[in-house]
């Protein structure tokens, strides 16, 4: 288990924000039956969790910059450090009372992600990673799965919805991948998809149209768990390209090849 001062700061902030989210998640079911609906409530829950994270991290590391889902970019006095924060990854799941969502916090130093925390409040699963120190789930070291045959692999993907993404490209990619894998999944929380690849629950994952706060922590998680991650076209900078493809060395390579073929 990583017990560095930095990881302590990050996990303390995430756990504090999670208590707020768990309370709010308990209210979502009641809101489903209201005429107004839970949309405004969930937005408030999002913003509240983000504010808790920001205040805790600012206190512990004054001057660091922020890249946040709700509040955008906040420039600090330290240009070399940036927090990438998603206070509620899997908002649609949360909105519908589905217990699959997460808080994701990644720290970028001089252009490199050096620490990441992904916490699933509903299942009480804490994924952490620090550069050069490995990746862990609830104090247990994690590694990517060892399966090397795509026919045995379970691969997750993103799923573009109304008004978002290239539906035609996704259908071509899905057709290309589904004929080679043992199963496909769509969970609706990118940070947890990455964490699940890191701990071997999923063999691979790809998605387009992401943001840095969705994937910053997960990128490091994959690498520290012995996996390979690129953008969906095989490039070396998924954080900038805002797309991902990942798995162990062989699954990642074959997945990228299939995606490239589908893209043409």
Binding-site residue numbers are: 69, 86, 88-89, 214
Between CA 245 and CA 229 the distance in angstroms is 6
Residues near 152 by Cβ (< 8 Å), separated by ≥ 6?
Answer: 182, 203
Q: 3-state class of 230 per DSSP?
A: strand
Smallest CA-to-CA distance from 164 within 194, 205, 208 is with: 208
Please enumerate, by residue number, every residue annotated as part of a binding site for Mg(2+).
Answer: 69, 86, 88-89, 214
Strands 134-137 and 125-130: antiparallel
Between CA 75 and CA 196 the distance in angstroms is 32
Between CA 259 and CA 238 the distance in angstroms is 15
Sequential DSSP letters for 7-51: HHHHHHHHHHHHHHHHHHHHHHHHHTTSSS-SHHHHHHHHHHHHH
- Residue 174: C-alpha distances to residues 109, 186, 187, 197, 206 (Å): 35, 11, 15, 18, 10
Do you know the residue count of the chain?
A: 264
Residues near 59 by Cβ (< 8 Å), separated by ≥ 6?
Answer: none
Strands 78-89 and 154-157: unpaired
């Amino acid at each position: 288990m990583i017990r560095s001062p930095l990881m302590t700061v990050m996990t303390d902030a995430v756990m504090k924000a999670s208590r707020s989210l768990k309370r709010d998640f308990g209210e979502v079911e009641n809101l489903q039956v209201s005429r107004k609906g839970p949309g405004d409530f969930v937005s408030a829950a999002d913003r509240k969790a983000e504010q808790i994270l920001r205040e805790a991290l600012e206190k512990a590391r004054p001057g660091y910059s922020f890249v946040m889902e709700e509040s955008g970019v906040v420039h600090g006095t330290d240009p070399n450090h940036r927090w990438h924060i998603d206070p509620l990854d899997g908002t649609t799941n949360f909105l519908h009372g589905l217990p699959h969502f997460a808080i994701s916090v990644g720290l970028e130093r001089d252009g490199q992600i050096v620490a990441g925390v992904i916490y699933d409040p509903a299942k009480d699963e804490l994924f952490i990673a620090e550069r050069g120190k490995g990746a862990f789930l609830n104090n247990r070291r994690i590694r990517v799965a060892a399966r090397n045959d795509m026919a045995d692999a379970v691969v997750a993907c993103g799923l573009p919805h109304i008004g978002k993404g290239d539906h035609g490209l996704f259908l071509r990619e899905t057709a290309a991948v589904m004929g080679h894998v043992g199963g496909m999944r769509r969970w609706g929380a990118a940070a947890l998809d990455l964490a699940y690849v890191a701990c071997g629950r999923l063999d691979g994952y790809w998605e387009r149209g992401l943001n840095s706060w969705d994937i910053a922590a997960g990128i490091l998680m994959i690498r520290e768990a012995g996996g390979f991650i690129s953008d969906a076209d095989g490039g070396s900078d998924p954080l900038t390209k805002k797309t991902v493809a990942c798995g162990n060395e062989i699954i990642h390579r074959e997945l990228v090849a299939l995606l490239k073929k589908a893209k043409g």
